Chains A and B, each alone.
Chain A
Amino acid sequence: MSKKPPLFTRRRCCLALLIGLLAILDPFGLASSSDKASAEWFNRMLSSSYPSIGQQQVAVVLIDDAYLMRNNTSWPMPYGEQSKLFKRLLAYKPKAVFVDLLYSHDHSLGDPAQGSQLLANVFERYQRQGIPLFLANTGVRRGADGQPNTLAPFAKVSQPAVVVWDGVDDAYPLAFSAPLRVMETPAMALYREFCKTQVCERLPRNAQAAVDSPPIAVQWGLNLAPEQARIKDIGDCAPAPHVLPRWMTQLAQAVFWRIDDSALARCPYSLTVSASDLEVSAPEDQALIAQLLRDRLVLVGASITSTGDVVQSAVHGQIPGVYLHAMALDNLVTRGMDYDREPASLARFNISWLDGLELGLLALIAVLKALHIRQLAQQPVLVRRKSWEARLFSSPYPSWVLVLLVLAAVCGLLRYNHYTAVNVLGITLLSLLLLSDRFEAYFSQPSRPTQGTQG
């Protein structure tokens, strides 16, 4: 009785090991790029069904070029101008405020009116009225080795929220162990204020516990807040096309990078009130703004040309940085501590168990392919279930469907446990290897002779 050859020869095993190693070591960033493209595609796909729970609690007040021009002022804004802006915001009674401006250098020096004190006076009024105010903080000691941070008069009348961090790639941490001390990020700081009046499960006890929590893989939203149209012209915010063509377009853009993948949406998801809107004088207009801002978590940011604070959104393209804080906060309000996350990586290596899972799926494809080849060579592997094996592996389609089903189940399981998906696009494309003999057969067929006679 002849001994059956193994499913994989030793050389093939070595080759598989090499491929696995290459996938992990990520030469030229090929795997990372593919992972990122897949994650962005997934983010876009899910953005249209993102619930609006957080959108009703969060608002962004944006200082823009139009506001500066209308008030004949400059950037950075003089403290007197800022004091007017922030006292107007105070009058609308937000629940808590984060200011995404770094007050690191005093530009009122030589000003007889002592401008910085004018703004500090307004910030103090927030404290007196019990409205928590968080200012952007670098997390370093001001002046040490020339490091910038919030000026003392402002630090006294506010709380810090760290806006400088590293080590989490594109994710958004809840807190960061900064050189000065452990500090919470703006989204977490405002979420903690939100939780003072709401029931929030498993809220980290303190900043140290927040550091130990996994960072947020920010899920962007797509649909504008219904109230947005009451204060802004949203005519140019293109309505989302029908779901199926949109998904197909996004899939094509994610796979074929030469296809224009301009932003899916051009207008920000979070309710946006511009600084000019706070100036309105008519009682009915003021009532409208009050309706939008009262008891909301408000983030104040800027979108001034050539100031550089922009972030990349999977859904929008480049968008002012304050919207990242707003969206992370929105994720927290909407999903609580069940926000999307990426699995923790091994120390010193950017490798997680998700990479292992992806390798497992690749191994499954390899095994199914080998079984199919053996079946074509009439060398079945299973001794007792030969008929089953013949039925499953004589055609590559059952194997391909099986891989897609396993992939869908893995994605579903990960999503259920609030983890980001595996590289769906990469694995789906690689699964097409199972059909390679069919492709070869199709393209090797001789061309059909044309009908008709030559004259």
Chain B
Amino acid sequence: MNKTLIVLLAVLFSQVALADVHSIKAFLADPVAVLDEQGKQQRELARKDAPTQPLPVLQYNPALDLVQVELAGQKVWLDTMDVRIEPALNVVDLQCEELIKSKKKDSNNKSTIGFGAGCNQ
């Protein structure tokens, strides 16, 4: 009974662990920009020279939306827009929000935006 439970739990957690591993399934851009951790371009990688096998994502930088991978034994950063990552790091649907409207020609707003603490100045 205990053994069965252990096996079941192991299978369950391995699935979760597997699902959490993001990997690059395809390179969309050609060439792909190879970046440093600040997003500065270091070099370019032609799509034909890119790995064809899924490439595990080592790290994700949400502040810059970059992923770290290992290419030819070297850790580099790639733009998430240049690759297809599965499972997706962020899921954002098309909002289909209302189109911006103009204001009447006599509309008024006598204020200036205040920066406050949010700007860290």
A20-28, A263-271, A346-354, A413-421: which lies at the interface: A263-271
Given the contacts A277-B94, A313-B102, A318 and B107 also touching, CB distance less than 8 Å: yes
Q: Is the CB of A62 within 8 A of B38?
A: no
A121 partner, pick from B40, B115, B118, beta carbons under 8 A: B40
Report how far A317 CA is from B102 CA in the complex, Å.
6
Q: A74-B119, A91-B82, A318-B102 are in contact. Are A125 and B90 (CB under 8 A)?
A: no
Within 274-319 of A, Cβ neighbours of B (below 8 Å) are at 274, 276-277, 279-283, 285, 288, 303-308, 310, 312-313, 316-319
Contact across chains for A80 and B63 when beta carbons are under 8 A apart = yes
Q: Are B64 and A80 in contact (CB under 8 A)?
A: yes
Selected from B39, B100, B105, B109, the residue in CB contact (under 8 A) with A122 is B39
Cα distance, A74 to B119, chains bound together (Å): 7
User: Is A306 a contact partner of B111 (Cβ separation < 8 A)?
Assistant: yes
B39:A121 contact, CB within 8 angstroms: yes
Question: Which residue of chain A lies nearest to B121 when distances are taken between CB atoms in the complex?
Answer: A107
Report whether A66 and B97 are in contact in the complex, using a CB–CB cutoff of 8 Å: yes
List CB contacts (< 8 Å) of B66-113 with chain A.
Answer: 79, 81-82, 84, 88, 90-105, 107, 109, 111-113
At the interface with chain B, which of A141-149, A166-174, A205-213, A228-236?
A228-236
Q: Which B residues between 47 and 78 are near A, CB-CB below 8 angstroms?
A: 63-65
- Assuming the contacts A121-B41, A280-B92, A281-B88, asked whether A76 and B104 have C-beta atoms less than 8 A apart, the reply is no
Instruction: Please give, as numbers and ranges, the residues of chain A lying within 8 Å of B79 by CB-CB distance.
Output: 87, 91
Interchain CA distance A122-B39 in the complex, whole Å? 7
Interface residues on B, range: 35 or more
A312 to chain B: which residues have CB within 8 Å?
A: 105
Q: In the complex the two chains form, is A124's CB within 8 Å of B41's CB?
A: yes
Nearest residue, chain B, Cβ from A224: B99
Known: A87-B39, A317-B104. A234 touches B99 (CB 8 A): yes
In contact, A233 and B92 (Cβ under 8 angstroms): no
Q: Residues 185-227 of chain A: 1 if any B CB is under 8 Å from the residue's CB, otherwise 0?
A: 0000000000000000000000000000000000000001000
A88 within 8 A of B: yes
Q: Is A237 an interface residue (CB 8 A)?
A: yes
Residues of B within 8 A of A355 (CB): none
- Specify which of B95, B100, B105, B113 is in contact with A268 (CB 8 Å cutoff): B100
Which residues of chain A are near B84, meaning CB under 8 Å? 283
> Is B65 a contact of A233 with CB atoms below 8 Å?
no
B4 within 8 A of A: no
**Complex contacts, B38 vs chain A, CB 8 Å:** 113-114, 117-118, 121
Residues of B close to A388: CB separation below 8 A = none
User: Which residues on A sit within 8 Å (CB–CB) of B44?
Assistant: 128
Given A62, A224, A279, A304, which contacts B113 in the complex, CB threshold below 8 Å? A304
- Let me know if A83 is at the binding interface, CB within 8 A: yes
A107 to B119, CA, bound (A): 8
* A88 B39 Cβ-Cβ under 8 A: no
B15 at the interface (CB under 8 A from A): no
A281 — which chain B residues lie within 8 A by C-beta?
88, 90-93
CB neighbours (8 Å) of B107 from chain A are 317-318
Report whether B81 and A88 are in contact in the complex, using a CB–CB cutoff of 8 Å: yes
Contacts of B88 in A (CB 8 A): 281
Known: A107-B119, A121-B41, A274-B100. 4 other contacts (CB 8 A): A118-B38, A231-B94, A272-B99, A318-B102
Some 30 contacts from A to B, beta carbons below 8 A apart, are A74-B115, A75-B113, A80-B64, A87-B65, A91-B28, A91-B29, A107-B119, A113-B38, A113-B63, A114-B38, A121-B39, A121-B41, A124-B40, A125-B41, A128-B44, A233-B99, A235-B98, A261-B105, A262-B105, A263-B104, A266-B102, A272-B100, A283-B84, A303-B100, A306-B109, A306-B112, A307-B113, A308-B109, A317-B102, A318-B103
Residues of A near any B CB (own CB < 8 A) = 62, 64, 66, 74-76, 80, 83-84, 87-88, 90-91, 107, 109-111, 113-114, 117-118, 121-122, 124-125, 128, 224, 228, 231-237, 261-263, 265-268, 272, 274, 276-277, 279-283, 285, 288, 303-308, 310, 312-313, 316-320
